């Protein structure tokens, strides 16, 4: 596959993954049984500033990217698109999907959102264009201060949950489930989303096309007389 075609398809994979990521976040919000850590903070900020959920997501991503500077992290195109695309897709799905009535319906919607989040995460990371702002923050703390990655992630996520909860974000059973389930759900999916013909691992491993081979084929041989 030509590299330009592979890169275009990787961009499509990235954009689809980011849209699904925003959609999955919106489904969890509509379920009202608790949301993931960063979404708790976003919901809390909705009670403080007169912006939509999606706008807060975009602005907070920009603020987090500023924290990358002292941590010496470098954003990729995937990082920037992550910051810009997830918020609008979340707003769109929040507008389209009503809040369900009944606990069973809420649990089912939350489970669907969590499953979609795992697929979306593997989808956009598999495109190979860089991590999101929030994941990069945890990696930066790990690399800058030598903290174990699990410790950096735990400290950051516990902090944002506390701040979001104080501001009125929705902390519930879903928050705990998301914290423990999303990692094990994403891990087995990752290899599948790195096996597309356009995936970085495939295109990097593909041998470069030979320029000399056609010229040799055009030369006359004892068995193939020249025309």
5-57 pLDDT per residue, tens? 988 999 999 999 999 999 999 999 999 999 999 999 999 999 999 999 999 99
Q: Bigger pLDDT: 6 or 95? A: 95
CB 117 within 8 A of CB 31: no
Task: Spell out the residues 6+ positions from residue 101 whose beta carbon is closer than 8 angstroms to its own.
Answer: none
157-196 pLDDT per residue, tens? 899 999 999 999 999 999 999 988 888 898 888 888 888 8
pTM to 2 decimal places: 0.83
Q: What is the CA radius of gyration of the chain?
A: 22
Give me the chain's average pLDDT, please. 86
Supply 47's token pair. 């009670």
Supply 183's token pair. 């990692």
100-132 pLDDT per residue, tens? 999 999 999 999 999 999 999 989 888 888 878
């Amino acid at each position: 596959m030509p590299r330009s075609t592979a890169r275009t398809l990787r961009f499509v994979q990235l954009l689809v993954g980011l849209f699904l990521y925003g959609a999955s976040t919106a489904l969890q919000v509509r379920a009202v049984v608790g949301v993931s850590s960063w979404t708790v903070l976003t919901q809390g900020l909705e009670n403080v500033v007169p912006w939509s959920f999606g706008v807060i997501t975009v602005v907070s991503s920009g603020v987090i990217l500023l924290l990358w500077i002292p941590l010496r992290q470098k954003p990729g195109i995937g990082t920037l698109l992550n910051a810009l695309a997830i918020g609008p897709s979340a707003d769109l799905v929040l507008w389209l999907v009503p809040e369900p009535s009944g606990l069973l319906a809420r649990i089912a919607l939350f489970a669907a959102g969590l499953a979609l989040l795992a697929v979306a995460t593997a989808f956009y990371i598999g495109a190979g264009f860089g991590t999101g702002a929030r994941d990069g923050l945890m990696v930066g703390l790990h690399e800058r201060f030598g903290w174990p990655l699990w410790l950096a992630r735990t400290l950051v996520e516990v902090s944002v949950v506390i701040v979001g909860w104080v501001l009125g974000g929705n902390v519930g059973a879903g928050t705990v489930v998301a914290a423990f389930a999303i990692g094990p759900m994403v891990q087995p999916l990752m290899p599948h989303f790195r096996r597309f013909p356009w995936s970085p691992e495939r295109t990097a491993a593909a041998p470069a096309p030979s320029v000399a081979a056609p010229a040799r084929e055009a030369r006359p041989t004892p068995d193939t007389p020249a025309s």
